[in-house]
Amino acid sequence: MSTRHILLGLLAGGPSHGYDLKRRHDERFPQARPLAYGQVYTTLQRLVRDGLAAIDGTDSDGGPERTLYRSTDDGSRELARWAGEIAPPAPFVTNEIFAKVVVSILASADPAGYLRAQRLAHMDRMRELTAVKTAPGADLATVLSADYALNHLDADLRWMNTTAARLIPLTAEVDAT
């Protein structure tokens, strides 16, 4: 996910302070890793440097001085360009779970046991996400974010079941090379 573009998107609604941008990011993308304040302010400085955002003033409201940022016309165009780009499917499939299965075979470990344990971890996470999305008052962004993660976890589970069913021929193939 592009932090710079997410911040430009949040600025599209009007000028904001870095603190407010961080809070809105974390609210709108509840299943994403929360942004660190340092990341927000560093990204805002780069957006200003690149002409995609500008400082719209400062205020203190009785507290520390806070800088107000706004998107520029160039920032709006950059955001529109990025939002319209089709996200390409990953050119290479790098899967840590598959790598661990192969390494388990190479190390004469227990790939079937590893897959069982990994399935349990996935199922635990799926239960957590289901609780999040079905919680009273869950907003649509939270539900959709949880659905996205659940679909990916479900695909992993189906792959693990297929791989578990093919461990004998996979082991023979790995051992032969």
Model confidence at 1, pLDDT cuts 50, 70, 90, reads: low
Q: Which residue has the higher pLDDT, 128 or 177?
A: 128
pLDDT at 63 over 90: no
Mean pLDDT of 88-117: 84
pLDDT at 165 over 90: yes
Mean pLDDT of 140-158: 92
pLDDT at 91 over 80: no
Q: List the end-to-end C-alpha distance of the chain, in Å, as a whole number.
A: 38
Give pTM, 2 decimals. Answer: 0.71
pLDDT at 119 over 90: yes
pLDDT at 71 over 90: yes
Q: How would you list the strands of the sheet with 66-71, edge to edge? A: 16-17, 66-71, 53-59
Residue 61 pLDDT: 73
Structure tokens at 77: 């165009």
> What average pLDDT does the chain have?
90
The amino acid at 78 = E
Q: pLDDT over 70 for what percent of the chain?
A: 97
In eight-state DSSP terms, residue 6 is H
The per-residue pLDDT for range 12-23, each reduced to its tens digit, is 999 999 999 999
pLDDT at 89 over 80: no
Number of helices (H), then strands (E), in the chain: 8, 3
Model confidence at 79, pLDDT cuts 50, 70, 90, reads: very high
Structure tokens at 40: 């927000």
